[in-house]
Amino acid sequence: MERIKIERNVSKGKLDKLNVISWPIWAKENSEFPWHYDKQEICFFIEGHAIVTPDNGEPVEMGEGDLVTFPAGLSCMWKITKPVKKHYNFE
């Protein structure tokens, strides 16, 4: 199983190339919930903080300014510790 990939301090050039600003926005308050990715998702955190723990894996922290890739087939538990707002794109 592929791992969650995080790029921090992503350049504006890379965000422009990916056309992140055109992606839909998802927002969620502090909460905890299970999630499964049928398709790969790439997202860019506009604000917030979350800890995502893959089933049988180690917790991964992510938040404002991070570009995150969740692999297809990943099952995990989300714990949002500061309300999240992110652009997202399924591939």
Which 8-state DSSP code applies to residue 14? H
Q: Residue 27 sits in a domain of what CATH number?
A: 2.60.120.10
Q: Are 47 and 84 in contact (CB under 8 A)?
A: yes
Q: Specify the number of domains making up the chain.
A: 1
Q: By residue range, what is the domain housing residue 77? A: 5-90
Question: How confident is the model over 16-32, as pLDDT tens digits?
Answer: 999 999 999 999 999 99
Q: Is 80 exceeded by the pLDDT of residue 1? A: no
Q: Which two tokens stand for residue 55?
A: 């089933």
Q: Which two tokens stand for residue 38?
A: 């049928």
Question: How confident is the model over 54-80, as pLDDT tens digits?
Answer: 999 999 999 999 999 999 999 999 999
